Chain A
Amino acid sequence: MSKTQLEPETVEQNEALAELVAPSEILGRSPGQIFWRRFRKDKLAFVGVFILIIIVALALAAPLFARLLDHSVNSQYVFEMTTPGGVPLGPTTSNEAGVFLFGADGTARDLFIRVLYGAQTSLIVALTATGIELLLGVTLGIMAGFYRGKIDSFISGLVDIFFALPVLLLMLGIVGACGAQPPGQECLGGLLQPGRGLVAFVIGVFGWPYIARIIRGQVLSLREKEFVEASRSLGASNRRIMFKEILPNVLAPIIVYTTLIIPTNILVEAALSFLGIGVPPSIPSWGAALNEATAYYRVAWWMMLFPGLFLFATTLAFNLVGDGLRDAFDPKTA
């Protein structure tokens, strides 16, 4: 039998049909409501949020776990947790030195505690670097798009130069050079001390051009909109227009991009630490743990598995959330 009239089969279709046939009943929704209606339908994004909550909670609880297990982050258990030949022992709940949920690392420390503190390192470095990138990228991007002309040319040229730089090599050089200066001779007059801050600074300084280019493109369009004209006609200053009128309208791409560069920055920190020039050895890092694991992977699988798993889960979670946000803000990509 052919269907000659609409037969809604789902609630959603029914609602949509209702909107079509009864335009007078359409409800006005704010952009936030629209975003939330879309985002909450993205189950993968919620999985990402869930994973992130767990990882952040574990990172924050690292000192608590260290106290509970009586294993500080740098405590060594050489004679309890290695073979006579120095190979670390795996996960155990019955060692004389206590419970080692993830086994020991190459220096006979509790890998579980190291991984939790490593989460702190990854998140602190990634978030700080992202903050630096946003500060520089958004500011310069808005200025380039808003002012156009020589300022745009200058900033865009700067972006092109940064894109052309061998960023990884420069990072290696700067972190290496600034990471071992004697007291009183540190980089930038002591402002850059070896550690998380230095790594975050270097990542951030080289990462801003990406977001600057995106924001510039958005602002080039927004600056021609009526609300900007209106603002200008009311005598608003350029700074006010840029940061009070335009900036709120580019928050969506900023938020989306932020969630996508955080995992990138986590990976960059891990890569730098893997190469041995990230955070100093005394600071736990997933990248450094993975580097150490390469010498033990045949006899100590746990050293590769657990830091790798946390690194994978964290970057995946941020990416899932980022994808969800992007889809929610921009239905064209859904």
Chain B
Amino acid sequence: MSRKLRFCAIVAVLAIVAAACGGNGSTDGDTPGADTGAKPVAGGTLKTGIEDGYDFFYGMNPSAEYYSVSWEFLRCCLARTLLSYSGTPGTEGGNDTLPDLATDQPVVSEDGLTYTFTIKDGVMFGDPLNREIVAEDFVTALNRVADPEASSGGYWFYYAGVVEGFQEAYDDPKLEEVSGIKAIDDKTLEFTLEEPIGAFPFLVAMPAMAPLPAELTEAHPKDIGQFLVSSGPYQWEGMEGLDITGKTPPTGMDIGKSYVLVRNPAYDAATDDLRPAYVDRIEVQVGGQTQDLLDKVEKGTIDLCVTCGATATTLQTYHGDPTLEERLKIYPSDGISYTGLNVFQPPMDDVHIRKAVNWVIDRAALLRLIGGPDQGEMTSHFIPPSMLDGLGQDYNPYGTPDERGDVTKAMEEVKLSKYDSDGDGVCDAPECTFDALTVTDDVDAIKTLETMAASMEQVGLSMNIKTLNYNAVVQKCATLAGHTPFCQAAWGKDFASAYTYFDPLLDGGENGSNYAFLGTTEADLQKNDYAVPADGIPNITSEIDECWALPLDEANQCWADLDKLIMEEIVPVVPRRFSNNIDVLGQNIVNYSFDQFAGLGALDHYSMAAA
């Protein structure tokens, strides 16, 4: 099942960003947009842009959208959940799940298998339904996630094996209901788990668990996003009086072109402690290239580019002008930029070659070329310490002087490989020339590959860099049939657990985002003309399951140990950078908050200068 959307979203986001905590982003919650001294006020319009091809990938279908930008729009504006996030940085609790549509945290049974939520009074669906949200609407939402057609491309797998009966409902088209969720009454909802999972509240806070009215899911099984009836402070413009059983979407929802959010008249701010929802209206125009959109922000044509991050040009311009510099907002985003290595495709089927690549690349040059420390923090391991409660902060398995790479150590590894016939530390087999793929219009990714190629040439590894459109790259990188040994990737967490790295990216064979294909089957390898490794197929499924089952506070060390295992023994990735998110604010924005959950600026926290 493809999980490319989340990946894609992260690519878009990370392409923008930069920087270790050393940026000028405040670690407080809401911060001034510029030094205007203005306090956040309600009202005004937030005009935003999104680059070509980086808007919502499944038409804002909440059961399938697996993309940080979509998630931010759902969290902030359209789809409240039982538990949700405050739209603040991690240092301010932005990764913590807080009661939203639920009156309080869930009541958990002693055996950890039953979670009971009480739903707030007075929470309503917006236009055109304008009715109270009840427990059955959450049942509808989870049943929809268990429908492979409705949630294709999404993150249904997080619920499989966790919520009782989910996997069965997913596998059996005739089984329409998940047995592990029950509406006890209109205000009481009960989940039954198959095993105690400490991270279950995170699953409840994901946008796919937002309540959905059956009236809507029945009328629009596929294009639900266009008619999405809001449970949040905003709704699509034109929802008032809309026939949601019809085929004409509201005026504010033009997929791939533009989106307009206006206030939801049925929303009661008194029921919501998480969303200030300052602006009256959010306009989104899709189209344009990164630098063009950032230039528009500087000129004031738009207030914000949601997906752009910041280019080296923009960073230099803004850092060079104190009045502009305060409009750069830089926060660690719990994301990583890395290279996925197909561990079955020569020459990356040899662990010594994979280690050699990790030793030889010049991480300092790679970071500098895309904008320097603003863009993030160099790393040679996989899990951001922010996901491990700080564990792994000093772990640097391929650390080299000034992080410029170590050719000697790389050559030592190449010598041990099967691709160095004369033992001189230089890869000399025909397989040492191989393909690397990246996205055509991703200038930073191309620069990164070219820089890595220059380093790898020193040990005889020669890359043919090929560029394709995004979908083609994912298709080739995510399938064994693509036979692509070296793929650029970026990822951001789904919730604050290392599980959301290991499970999607390094488990389950061909799952859409596991570019290393760990855990694939012998049959799949043979079907795709791969040699089956004599020492077995690398697989960390049991280790992942073991960590996942632990209580949250005990799991961190387990995940940190697994991080070491993969970086020192399997080496399926070449980590480069724990990424930052950079938002460049227009001059009219007077309040900003970074939403650690989505890794983007919180749209409900933006406030505009009074006209």
The interface of chain A, by Cβ under 8 A from chain B, is: 74-76, 78-79, 82-87, 106-108, 176, 179-180, 182-183, 194, 275-277, 280-282, 291-292, 294-300
Contact = CB atoms under 8 A, between A and B. Distances in A.
A183 B435 contact: yes
Interface stretch (B117-125, B130-138, B179-187, B443-451): B443-451
B346 to A, nearest CB: 10
A156 to B, nearest CB: 36
Contacts of B466: 179-180, 194, 280
A295 to B, nearest CB: 5
B311 A277 contact: no
A299 B371 contact: no
Task: Report the contact-size class of chain B (Cβ under 8 Å from the partner).
Answer: 35 or more
Nearest to A300: B313
26 contacts: A74-B450, A76-B365, A76-B451, A79-B364, A79-B365, A84-B368, A84-B373, A86-B368, A106-B312, A180-B437, A180-B468, A180-B472, A182-B476, A182-B483, A275-B440, A277-B440, A277-B467, A281-B467, A282-B464, A282-B465, A291-B443, A295-B312, A296-B312, A296-B313, A297-B313, A298-B313
Q: Is the interface of B mostly helix, strand, loop or mixed?
A: helix
Interface string B211-237: 000000000000000000000000000
B151 interface: no
Contacts of A294: 289, 291
B312 A86 contact: yes
A179 B465 contact: no
A295 B465 contact: no
Nearest to B468: A180
A107 B368 contact: no
B468 A107 contact: no
Contacts of A182: 435, 476, 482-484
B287 interface: no
A283 to B, nearest CB: 10
Contacts of B441: 276
Contacts of B435: 180, 182-183
B242 interface: no
Given A74-B450, A74-B454, A76-B451, 14 more contacts: A75-B454, A78-B451, A85-B371, A86-B315, A86-B372, A107-B450, A107-B451, A280-B467, A281-B450, A294-B291, A295-B291, A298-B295, A298-B313, A300-B313
B317 interface: yes
B481 to A, nearest CB: 9
B369 A79 contact: no
Contact of B369 (A78, A180, A277, A300): A78
Nearest to A179: B466
B378 to A, nearest CB: 14
A276 B368 contact: no
B162 interface: no
Interface in B266-323: 289-291, 295, 311-313, 315-317, 319
Contacts of B482: 182
B16 to A, nearest CB: 12
Nearest to B440: A276
A183 B347 CA distance: 13
A87 B313 contact: yes
A158 to B, nearest CB: 30
Contacts of A86: 312, 315, 368-372
Interface in B326-384: 362, 364-365, 368-374
A282 B468 CA distance: 15
A108 B311 CA distance: 16
A281 B465 CA distance: 7
A207 B437 CA distance: 29
A299 B316 CA distance: 8
B338 to A, nearest CB: 19
Q: Which of A84, A183, A194, A282 has the most CB of B within 10 A?
A: A282
Nearest to A88: B312
Contacts of B440: 176, 275-277
Nearest to B375: A86
A300 B312 CA distance: 11
A45 to B, nearest CB: 39
B416 interface: no
Q: Which of A78, A82, A194, A299 has the most CB of B within 10 A?
A: A78
Nearest to B370: A86
A41 B145 CA distance: 78
A123 B483 CA distance: 34
B316 A176 contact: no
A82 B313 contact: no
Contacts of A277: 440, 467
Nearest to B366: A78
Contacts of B373: 84
B469 interface: yes
B453 interface: yes
A257 B319 CA distance: 52
Interface in B433-479: 435, 437, 440-441, 443, 446-447, 449-451, 453-454, 464-469, 472, 476
B316 A87 contact: yes
B369 A108 contact: yes
A175 to B, nearest CB: 10
A75 B454 CA distance: 7
Contacts of A176: 440, 468-469, 472
A6 to B, nearest CB: 66
A319 to B, nearest CB: 30
A291 B424 CA distance: 40
B468 A295 contact: no
Contacts of A194: 464, 466
A277 B469 CA distance: 9
B465 to A, nearest CB: 5
A180 B468 CA distance: 7
A306 B450 CA distance: 22
Nearest to B365: A78
A83 B369 CA distance: 9
Given A179-B467, A194-B466, A280-B466, A299 B317 contact: yes
Q: Which of A76, A85, A275, A277 has the most CB of B within 10 A?
A: A85
Given A180-B437, A180-B466, A298-B313, A85 B372 contact: yes
Nearest to B430: A183
A78 B451 CA distance: 9
A253 B482 CA distance: 47
Nearest to B482: A182
B517 to A, nearest CB: 15
A186 to B, nearest CB: 11
A307 to B, nearest CB: 15
Contacts of B453: 74, 282
A74 B437 CA distance: 18
A298 B295 CA distance: 10
Nearest to A83: B316
Contacts of B472: 176, 180
A306 B365 CA distance: 25
A128 B396 CA distance: 50
Q: Which of A180, A277, A282, A298 has the most CB of B within 10 A?
A: A180
Contact of A85 (B295, B319, B450, B465): B319
Interface in B481-495: 482-484
